[in-house]
Structure 1
């Protein structure tokens, strides 16, 4: 082999090495995209199972494709007996044109807060209130539908009206879930385009952040709708927390952590009976002990969401006190996160200044007297000073969240 042939061979080998390196980089990026999509699916499944209502989806032929735990509980049908069959398997009355999936008019929503009868697996007739919506692909073509329903057999008319409001809200959560699912399909279809992959993943992440924010707000609203006496409480607490964080010059990460925790700090109350939350008299020992569990329940709900900040820990600690008299873990002093101390003060001030079922509003002055008298005992001194300054010097006022 002459020198020229050797040089050509070397060049070809080098070109092959470069191509292999490029292919390896593409493989790594594709794996990153696949990992991100897996996380998205796990998060969607988490929401699907924690939504406090029955939810199921169908394809374009009305074949059931998913069936959550609450649907199993209400109907008595386990998922394995429903998935793969038509959605009329448990219907007492045929839907016909009222379904929307069979209609030429595919306007949205196709069903809104409609009551109908179904027969449970044990033969018992029950009445449900349901909302339904179409699912469409990226081209706007119908690919199926999603329905949320709730057993209202023993409900009163006033309770039913409140449930309808919750259904509309929870429908929005499910629509966001459907958007995420469709978005994942689009991403999977486009990962082969190497030059567009990075931009697609970045766009998807930004959209997921927006959807997460909207979902958090929806969950917060759902909790407050169960307790009309504290409606708007979490949002007003978030207003004061945001103002305190700015006053105390929190960095961007601290600000995001404490304001995110504030807007959902009572998420654990979703598991407390509404009649206890709105009880107009003193709580029994049992009822009080049940209330004290809500920070731990909130922590358990939020801990598996991969926030870049300690949101779950802040929620867990928002009823702790400096002297160890709080709950659920009786933490003291520096054992309590500083961000949690900010939420603690804001929560107390808003709660005292607002109406509760067992007492009228005490007013801002009483609330400020409370944190001033117990500064350094129950409440962090720096946070108390910042809060007093915020109201007295800057004239802070709560804005009605409704």
Structure 2
């Protein structure tokens, strides 16, 4: 009875083992990964269908025989190195290799090898589980290549940016030096021009002492009017210079005509009317900013065309010359002359108001009248002061 029970137990265990083995194999067969088991001598004891299909082989052709895929020559040492690390203490290793397929294609595979020992510690089998990672490696290689190209491009761009930045720094430094040189040159030129203007003013006022300070006062009023009209400081400077020199042409008029106390005849008037053209010829060669010479030439032109020397009308006269014209009349009428006493400012302002838009520009007249009405202007002139 005991023997019968022992045999029954053994048979049940065998049946259970067979059932477990079949279930294990069923699970393995359903895997898409490759599963191969080898004896220590390299003979195959098991290979799943996925592996057979992948390599295009039949199971019965390889079980009991040695079968190794053709490993790329450059990767053979990789396999040897990894498998040499296997031991009882280190029974597991994973590596990636290139396999030469029967049709010549190169495929990437990842294999995990595991040593299987019996209870006594003897090596009985080696199990290898593999999978095709060609697409993954290609994607990784493509990404790596893209990253390398991007990194290279970034390095090139960085170098280019550094070059551009260096060039920009050099250009900025050069520009700063140039600006400094230009500022120095401008200051020297301005100093020279101011000296020239002072010399011309001195010559003009010595020639006609009755108009001493007239040109400076005209320049002051003209500059205030221009600022109220929204002129830039560069154009205001242009007006200042033109105002200071607008009568410079009078240095060629005989002194007896300029200082004559009685009325002047038509011939003398003709001589006086040449002073804008003469002033233009004197100033034209001097490198002033803007149109100083043209303003001097046109400061006696009138809106209705009755002025001189060219009988210009309206907008044919540059606006700066129209401003000088108004400032000139107001200052001249309010100043003493050999042939008449000075008029009051009220009479001078009445003159430009009465001839607004006939002889004088309406906008300029309106600004000038408002300045005096609001008491926003007062002549301030010191000897030798150009401002």
TM-score (norm 2): 0.52
Q: CA shift at 1:399, angstroms?
A: 2.5
1:77-128 CA distances to partner (integer Å, 9 max, x unpaired)? xxxxxxxxxxxxxxxxxxxxxxxxxxxxxxxxxxxxxxxxxxxxxxxxxxxx
Contact 1:235 1:401 in 2 (8 A): no
Q: Is the 8 A contact 2:280 2:294 kept in 1?
A: yes
Provide the residue aligned with 1:217 in structure 2. 198
* Aligned partner (choices 232, 242, 253) of residue 251 of structure 1: 232
Change (3 A) 1:197 1:322: closer
Give the aligned partner of residue 284 of structure 1.
265
In structure 1, runs of 5+ residues without a counterpart are 1-28, 30-194
| Corresponding residue of 1:93 | none
1:326 corresponds to = 307
Structure 2 residue runs without a partner (length 5+): 1-173
1:317 aligns with 298
Separation (CA, whole Å) in 1 of partners of 2:185 and 2:294: 28
SS in 1 for 2:342: coil
Alignment partners' CA distance in 1, 2:223 and 2:178 = 36
Report Cα offsets for 1:251-289 as digits up to 9, x if no partner.
122211111100011111111111111111111111110
Q: Aligned partners of 1:200, 1:298: CA distance in 2, in Å?
A: 32
Deviations 1:314-364 (A, max 9, x none): 000000000000000000000000111000000000000010000000110
Residue number in structure 2 paired with 1:269: 250
Tell me the equivalent position of 1:372: 353
Q: CA deviation at 1:218?
A: 2.2
Aligned CA distance change for structure 1 residues 199 and 374 (closer, same or farther; 3 Å)? closer
1:81-100 aligned at under 5 Å gives the runs none
Q: What is residue 232 of structure 1 aligned with on the other side? A: 213
Distance 1:334 1:200, change over 3 A: closer
Q: Over residues 143-171 of structure 1, what are the superposed CA-to-partner deviations in whole Å (9 max), with x where a residue is unaligned?
A: xxxxxxxxxxxxxxxxxxxxxxxxxxxxx
Larger Rg computed on CA atoms: 2
Q: Note if 1:358 corresponds to 2:339.
A: yes
Q: 1:196 to 1:378 in 2, by over 3 A?
A: closer
User: Are residue 241 (structure 1) and residue 239 (structure 2) matched?
Assistant: no
- d(CA) in 1 for partners of 2:178, 2:314: 48
Q: Quick check: 2:193–2:288 contact (8 Å CA) kept in 1? A: no
